[in-house]
Structures are given as C-alpha cells and as structure tokens.
Amino acid sequence: MNYHDPVLFTECLEGLRLKPDGIYVDVTFGGGGHSRGILDQLSDKGRLFGFDQDPDALENVPEDSRFTLVAQNFRHLKKYLRLYGATQIDGLLADLGVSSHQFDEGSRGFSTRFDGPLDMRMNPSQELDAHRVLNEYTLSDLARIFRKYGEVKNPMSIAHKIDTARAEGAMETTQQLVDLVSDMAPYGKRNKWLAQVFQALRIEVNQELQALEEMLEQANEVLSPQGRLVIISYHSLEDRLVKNFIREGRFDGQAEKDFYGNVLTPLKIITRKPIVPTEEELQKNTRSRSAKLRIGEKKND
Ligand SMILES: C[S@@+](CC[C@H](N)C(=O)[O-])C[C@H]1O[C@@H](n2cnc3c(N)ncnc32)[C@H](O)[C@@H]1O
C-alpha cells in the first residue's frame, strides 16, 4: 500500500520559493513525497534535512547524498540542525499530524476503523501511550483533553464513562473504546465524533501542540532573512497556532510593540487566507480535505 500521498504538493514547493543551493528542512518526512519534490529542485550544493519521529519513515529515505534523515521529534529542531552544522536554513516545511501509513496500520491504534491496541504513539519508544492515558489519567485530566483537544460538547460525560468502565478492569483495545463511547455521539454524527475523541487522545499522547509551538519558535530562530515557513495543518487547534505565529511571532495573539506602538513581528504574512486543496485534489485524495496551508517569510533584520 502507498505510504502517503503528499498533500498540496505544488503549492508547498511554490511556497518554499526554493533556491537551488539552499538548505531546507522537511520536519515531517513521512513517505518523503514533499522531500523528493524539494530534492528535484536543488542543485548539487543544496541540502535537505528530513525529521520524523517514526522509525517506519526510514524505509522511505532516498539514496541521495544531499539528504539527511534525522529520526527525532521536530521539537528538537535547532539542536539537531546544529549537530549537523546547519545554523541557518532557507526554508522549512511541516505537513502536520499522522501519515496514511500510520492511520491505516491497525496495530498503531490511530484509527476508529480497525481494532488495535490503545497505542497512538508516533514514536514507538516513548513511554506515554493511549493505554496509559485512558487507564491512568484522572477524571478531570481526561475531561480536559476531550474538551481541549477533541472540542467535543460532552467531555465530562465521556471521561465519566471511561472512569466507570476502567474500575471493572483495564481497557485494552480501540474497539473497546469505540464500543464504550459510541452511544454518546450526536445523532447521525458517529464517525466524525469518534474521530474527535481519537484525535484528542492522539494529540495528548504525542504532545502535538507543545511540539508544534517549540518547533515554530526554533524555526523562526534558524530561518535566514527571506526564508520561508510553509505549514500544512489539519485541524483548527494547529491552524490557530500557526496563524497566530505567522501574524504575531507568538501564540497568544498579542504581538510585541516598540516604544512608538509599532507592531514588531519577525515574519511577513504570505498567505492572508490559508491555501486549501483544489476540487481536483479533493477528488483524488479525500485525506486532503481538512488541509490548510499557511506561509510566512522571515523579515530582513
Ligand atoms: C502527514 S505525514 C507527512 C507526510 C509527508 N509530507 C509525505 O509527503 O509523505 C506526518 C509525518 O510527520 C511525522 N511527525 C509528526 N509529528 C512529528 C514530530 N513532532 N516530530 C517528528 N515527526 C513528526 C509523523 O510521524 C508522520 O510520518
């Protein structure tokens, strides 16, 4: 099966405005679709670093001396780039979330469609998994993640139901979770609602929003003037962080101002509105449906 079809491929490559001799980073290497597109436009002097915290992605590494795979979480972007002697970069691409490969592999526990263990780790060697979240988190912590990361209307009821069920014995599989909570879904919206419940768990397990914030801050530090930040997000929580960061250089929507009240932001907004997939792409790849691409450009110092 195909590992992953790259989303908004042409739009991302155009957005990076690649310089053939430049140094680029694809922080979500995955199946390497976007990375291969970048390499195609680089000269012999160009370099590309790919990050992925899932060792499965290693099988997609191209044989190309200009490419280096860093099998790490992108929250350590700056440290690993420094290790490889790259202190400044000309552009960074992030295509957030999980790959089709991770979704479609039932044993990873990401999908509501297959029975599997309560895992949901992108990096299989980290300790926190969905099993631990569901069986060990307090009632209020469970409610918090369903509210904050799932944006469901009934977070406390879901948390209560899980808490009551686990008193009878640990929950082990994704199917057990689906069977337990499905009847709480709003009428006619079962699949969408279950996806939100799973999304909440996945975001918590992988600390996705924290990693995104850390990566964006470091990206801003390593980008050269006129270097591009090109980010695809797939849900409103990620998109809000990306939008605020490109607009304000921070996440709370409060841009820094100078003595005279002029807004001081490190990035120029290239996309006032996010770029979304064309009808043609949506037809070909339904998984692109929630994608939003935003681009920022590092200002001159
Ligand atoms: C949507 S896929 C990217 C697909 C890729 N653009 C392609 O064309 O095949 C996201 C990938 O990023 C990885 N990933 C997500 N968050 C990460 C993080 N914080 N650090 C490192 N890798 C991450 C996932 O393991 C997954 O392989």
Would you state the pLDDT for residue 254? 81
Rounded to the nearest angstrom, the distance between the alpha carbon of 139 and the centre of ligand 1 is 31
Substitution site in 1, 28, 213, 237 for ligand 1 pocket (most atoms within 8 Å of beta carbon):
28
The answer to whether the beta carbons of residues 174 and 111 sit under 8 Å apart is yes
> What is the CA(52)–ligand 1 centre distance, in A?
6
> What separation in Å is there between the alpha carbon of 11 and the centre of ligand 1?
18
**Ligand 1 site, residue 108, Cβ cutoff 6 A:** no
pLDDT of residue 261: 85
- Which of 16, 77, 99, 234 is the pocket-test mutation for ligand 1 (most atoms within 8 Å of CB)? 99
Distance CA 192, CA 25 (A): 33
Q: Helix crossing, 208-222 with 190-206: angle to 10°?
A: 60
Rounded CA separation 72/64 (Å)? 20
Contacts with 186 (C-beta within 8 Å, 6 or more apart), sequence order: 153, 193
Which stretches within 60-189 are classed as H helix?
A: 77-83, 100-104, 130-136, 139-150, 155-166, 174-181
Question: 3-state class of 68 per DSSP?
Answer: strand
Nearest ligand 1 atom to the CA of 6 is 8
Give the per-residue pLDDT at 264.
Answer: 84
**pLDDT over 80 (residue 253):** no
Asked whether 33 lines ligand 1 (CB < 6 A), one says yes
> pLDDT for 28-51, tens place per residue?
999 999 999 999 999 999 999 999
* Residue 291 banded pLDDT, cuts 50, 70, 90: very high
Burial 25-61 (b: 16+ CB within 10 A, else e): bbbbbbbbbbbbbbbeebeeebbbbbbbbbebbeebb
As a whole number, mean pLDDT of residues 133-148 equals 98
Q: What is the pTM of this model?
A: 0.96
Percentage of the residues of the chain whose pLDDT score is greater than 70: 99
What is the pLDDT, as a whole number, of residue 92? 98
Write out pLDDT tens, residues 193-230. 999 999 999 999 999 999 999 999 999 999 999 999 99
pLDDT of residue 165: 96
CB-ligand 1 contact for 25 (6 Å cutoff): no
* High-pLDDT (> 90) share of the chain, %: 93
Atom of ligand 1 nearest to the CA of 123: 25
Give me the pLDDT at residue 189, please: 95
Atom of ligand 1 lying closest to residue 56 CA: 27
pLDDT, mean over the chain: 96
pLDDT single digits (tens) 163-201: 999 999 999 999 999 999 999 999 999 999 999 999 999
Q: Is 285 in the pocket of ligand 1 (CB under 6 A)?
A: no
CA neighbor of 27 nearest in space, from 96, 88, 89:
96
Q: What is the dihedral of CA 238, 244, 246, 249, to 10 degrees?
A: -120
Nearest-atom index, ligand 1, CA of 9:
8
Structural contact between residues 268 and 299, judged by C-beta atoms closer than 8 angstroms: yes
Asked whether 203 lines ligand 1 (CB < 6 A), one says no
Number of H helices, E strands in the chain: 12, 9
User: Can you list the positions of beta strands (E) in 27-123?
Assistant: 47-51, 67-70, 89-95
Q: In whole angstroms, how far apart are CA 297 and each of 13, 198, 220? A: 14, 34, 9
Residue 134, CA atoms < 13 Å, CB-side half-sphere: 28
pLDDT tens digits for 47-86?
999 999 999 999 999 999 999 999 999 999 999 999 999 9
Q: Contact 96/28 with Cβ under 8 angstroms?
A: yes
Ligand 1 atom nearest to 52, measured from its CA: 22
Rg over CA atoms, the chain: 20
Q: Is 97 in the pocket of ligand 1 (CB under 6 A)?
A: yes
Is the shortest distance between the CB of 249 and ligand 1 below 6 Å?
no
- Whether 111 lines ligand 1, by a CB cut-off of 6 Å, is no
**Does the Cβ of 32 fall within 6 Å of ligand 1?**
yes
Torsion of CA 58, 60, 65, 68, to 10 degrees: -40
How many beta carbons lie within 10 A of that of residue 185, not counting itself?
17
The answer, yes or no, to whether any atom of ligand 1 lies below 6 A from the CB of 52, is yes
pLDDT at 1: 66
Would you state the pLDDT for residue 257? 86
Cβ atoms of 23 and 86 closer than 8 Å: yes
